Amino acid sequence: MHQVVWITGASSGIGAALVAEYARQGWLVIATARRETLLNQVARSSGFSERISLLPADLTDLEALPSLVDRAWSIHGGIDCCILNAGIGQWGSVAGTTLSVEQRLFALNYWSPIATIKALLPKMERAGFGRIVGISSIASQFGQRKLAAYSASKAALHVYFESLREELYQSPVRVQIISPGSARTQIMQASLTEGGKPLNKSGKAQEQGMDPAKLARAIWRFAQGRGFHAVVAGKDRLALPLHHFFPKIFYRILRRNYARK
pLDDT tens, the chain, 261 aa long: 789 999 999 999 999 999 999 999 999 999 999 999 999 999 999 999 999 999 999 999 999 999 999 999 999 999 999 999 999 999 999 999 999 999 999 999 999 999 999 999 999 999 999 999 999 999 999 999 999 999 999 999 999 999 999 999 999 999 999 999 888 877 778 898 899 888 887 766 666 678 999 999 999 999 999 999 999 988 888 999 999 999 999 999 989 877 665
**What is the number of other CB atoms lying within 10 angstroms of the CB of residue 250?**
18
pTM of the model: 0.94
Per residue in 142-167, is it b (16+ CB within 10 Å) or e — as a string? beeebbbbbbbbbbbbbebbeebbee
CB 237 within 8 A of CB 218: no
CB 90 within 8 A of CB 198: no
pLDDT in tens, 171-208: 999 999 999 988 887 777 889 889 988 888 776 666 66
Q: What is the DSSP letter of 128?
A: T
